Amino acid sequence: MAHVEGEDVSWVGEELQDWQQAIYHMDDVNWILHPPLNKGREAMAYLTFIIDHYNNLPEIMVFLHPHLEGWPKAWHTDADDYNNVNSVRSLRLDYVREHGYANMRCLYIPGCPDEVQPFRNDPERTHELAFADAYTYFFGGNYSTVPHTVGAACCSQFAVSRDQVRARTRKDYTRYRKWLVDTDLPDDISGRVLEYMWHLIFGKDPVWCPDHIQCWCEQFGRCEA
């Protein structure tokens, strides 16, 4: 988790006591956990955690925003009352073990099925214009290997297994973070590029949009009678 001064993250320790916590203070270098640079929003903290703990990762990890609940701050949390505690408590860990990666949001909008179209050339969609170059930096290849459509439910909250993280090397994650450090893109754009990279990094197809009813049931146990 990434947070900045003024964001209350006490709920993590109070409400999710069964989980180890790693909360990165983005704008305080004196904090126990802090990234090398306050850049790229939550992506910098997520990648720093993976790099620093690569050899002793927990079996399952959940990467979250610092907002506990409520509209509008936690609008992206797909659970009762937009509540991240409800979301994590209902997560079926066996699903993560089996599938390796699980977006913590099942609802399609925004993100599915075609949020990122790297070759659309819309000057107002800056993250799309940056995506192709970022993709080739992350995964190699050239523009011919960049998918023409990328889609996944937003918003950079997900669960992933240790085995899935280690399907890529520590050097890979260090390279991803270097892209964040070196890019001239503003934080909102670089963070948004990573938002639609996570499912690719963790082995899913470019368009990863499971049926939301099935997702609620299989991933969170919220099944219709």
| Domains of the chain by residue range | 2-220
Q: For residue 102, what are the β-bridge partners?
A: 159
- Quote the DSSP letter at residue 68: -
Element containing residue 159 per DSSP (H, E): strand 158-161
Mean local confidence (pLDDT), 189-202:
97
Q: What is the pTM of this model?
A: 0.95
What pLDDT does 222 receive?
92
For residue 114, give both structure tokens.
Answer: 């075609």
pLDDT of 181 over the 80 cut? yes
Mean predicted lDDT score pLDDT of the chain = 94
- Say if strands 60-63 and 158-161 run parallel, antiparallel, or are unpaired: antiparallel
Asked if the peptide bond before residue 66 counts as cis, ω within 30 degrees of 0, the response is no
Q: What is the pLDDT of residue 30?
A: 85
| Whether the Cβ atoms of residue 65 and residue 157 lie closer than 8 Å to each other | yes
* Contact indicator for 147, 117 with CB cutoff of 8 Å: no
Give, for 180, the enclosing helix (H) or strand (E).
helix 170-182
Provide mean pLDDT across the span 121-126. Answer: 84
Within 10 Å of residue 186's Cβ, how many Cβ atoms? 12
- Mean pLDDT to the nearest integer, 87-101: 98
Element (DSSP H or E) covering residue 24: strand 24-25
Rg of the chain over all Cα atoms, to the nearest angstrom:
17
Residues 169-192: what's their mean pLDDT?
A: 96
Report the pLDDT value the prediction gives residue 137, as an integer from 0 to 100. Answer: 97
Half-sphere exposure of 163 (CA within 13 A, CB side): 5
Q: Which pLDDT belongs to residue 98? A: 98
Task: Give the model confidence (pLDDT) of 129-143 as tens digits.
Answer: 999 999 999 999 999
pLDDT at 208 over 60: yes
Share of the chain above pLDDT 90, in %: 86
pLDDT at residue 225 is higher than 60: no
Per-residue tokens: 176: 């991803």
In which band, very low, low, confident or very high, does the pLDDT at 36 lie, cut at 50, 70 and 90?
very high
pLDDT of the residue at 119: 95
Is 112 in contact with 151 (CB distance < 8 Å)?
A: yes
Report whether pLDDT(4) > 70. Answer: yes
Distance CA 32, CA 172 (A): 25
Tens-place pLDDT, residues 46-86: 999 999 999 999 999 999 999 998 877 788 888 888 999 99
Question: Is the Cβ–Cβ distance between 24 and 45 less than 8 Å?
Answer: yes
Residues 108, 212 contacting (CB under 8 angstroms): yes
pLDDT for the residue numbered 15? 96
- Helix axes 170-182 and 42-52, enclosed angle (nearest 10): 150
Instruction: With a cut of 90, say whether residue 219 has pLDDT above it.
Output: yes
